[in-house]
Amino acid sequence: DYYEKTCTAPVNIAVIKYWGKRDVSLNLPTNSSLSVTLSQDNLQSKTTIRADPSFSKTRLWLNGVEEDVSASKRIQTCIKEARRLRSLYEQQLLRDGNSEVVPLSEYNLHICSENNFPTAAGLASSASGFACFVYTLAQLYSLPNSLSELSIIARQGSGSACRSLFGGFVAWEMGVNNDGSDSMAVQIADEHHWPELIALICVVSDAKKAIGSTVGMQVTVKTSSLLKERIECVVPKRMEEMVKAIKDKDFDAFAELTMRDSNQFHAVCLDSFPPIFYLNDISRAIIRLVEEYNSTSCNYKAAYTFDAGPNAVIYTLRENADELVGLIKRYFMGEEREQIPSGFRADAVPIFEEGSVKQLIRTTVGDGPRVIEDG
């Protein structure tokens, strides 16, 4: 007698960045953050979880390779928290007079998790992965809890994962409680709100492996005085402005806030000691290209943002997407033919060799986790 669920969850890309923890084991952030959930047509994690009373232990496979569950504190925390909610739910069902309550909270699990995007692409998968894991477990356990409540569990797997519980535009409210009970994700607008918005993911080739975000954040919190300015004076106001920009579908405001926040996040990394570098020459040339492209109009036409690596995500509107894709292909992917838009100074951006951008993924705003199969 086994019970099984399969679900998928999306990737999210922050436009107000999470960087810094006030509690390392609970993943409580030093500032609120805000992200756009990307369509699952292009990028998603998929997880199948089976609960069976005959399983002798809980096992986990990531992209087909078995991992040691006992070695991952984050996975164990998520399982422990979901089991706690399940056993509360079982007790409630029993109190309500349900005689046949399955004690799923006591069964061991077999978990299979995979991503539909190549790991070679170097795209972070922990956000969609943990969101998918927690969502699938919640489905398996038939938990009555809200997505925001589930986001509290996903947050403990990976901070940014809490935002992948929702589609559309999502804020992670930092909260003030020491136990993290108010540090959760909330939806600002759903995936239908701004259909013209396009995300172009530029997978940038990179030889060296950058310092991971968990470790990087700790160095920043310990050593950067600029971080204090960012979390106290800048982000609170910027969060309000970003929510308004999104609600008003004001691309001009959205674009400037997005670029400024990415820049400040990387400035805070540089202000850490020893300094942390995530951008490379190609990343910086992409910034130049977007700057030059924006200078061809009195309104912003595109906005770049970078996470803890050299890959760029460029937000733009549908009307500009083809033109921008042409420019990226011309400058970073070895394509000659593309026309240059009027006003764009062709020599303002250095031309890089073919393969400098290895892959260009064009996508839109997408929905939250989905159940795809019942067992």
Chain residues that interact with ligand DP6, rule: CB under 6 A: 14, 17-19, 27, 33, 126, 158-160, 213-214, 307-308
Distance CA 357, CA 336 (A): 15
Least distance from ligand DP6 to the Cβ atom of residue 264, Å: 12
Quick one: 33 or 48, whose CB is closer to ligand DP6?
33
Q: Using CB atoms, what's the residue nearest to ligand DP6?
A: 159
Quick one: 39 or 126, whose CB is closer to ligand DP6?
126
CA 242, distance to chain mean position in Å, is: 17
Contacts of 137 (CB under 8 A, 6+ apart): 49, 78, 79, 82, 109
Tokens linked to 34: 């805000």
Least distance from ligand DP6 to the Cβ atom of residue 309, Å: 9
Least distance from ligand DP6 to the Cβ atom of residue 152, Å: 13
Least distance from ligand DP6 to the Cβ atom of residue 252, Å: 23
Least distance from ligand DP6 to the Cβ atom of residue 169, Å: 14
Least distance from ligand DP6 to the Cβ atom of residue 340, Å: 32
Quick one: 32 or 39, whose CB is closer to ligand DP6?
32
Quick one: 108 or 214, whose CB is closer to ligand DP6?
214
Check residue 305 and give left, alpha or beta (phi > 0: left; psi -120 to 50: alpha).
beta
Distance CA 161, CA 136 (A): 14
| Through-space distance between the first and last CA atoms of the chain, rounded to whole angstroms | 11
Tokens linked to 196: 């013209």
Distance CA 147, CA 170 (A): 12
Phi, psi of 346 (to 5 degrees): -55, -30
Quick one: 308 or 349, whose CB is closer to ligand DP6?
308
Of 133, 44, 28, 143, nearest to 84 by C-alpha is: 143
Quick one: 191 or 307, whose CB is closer to ligand DP6?
307
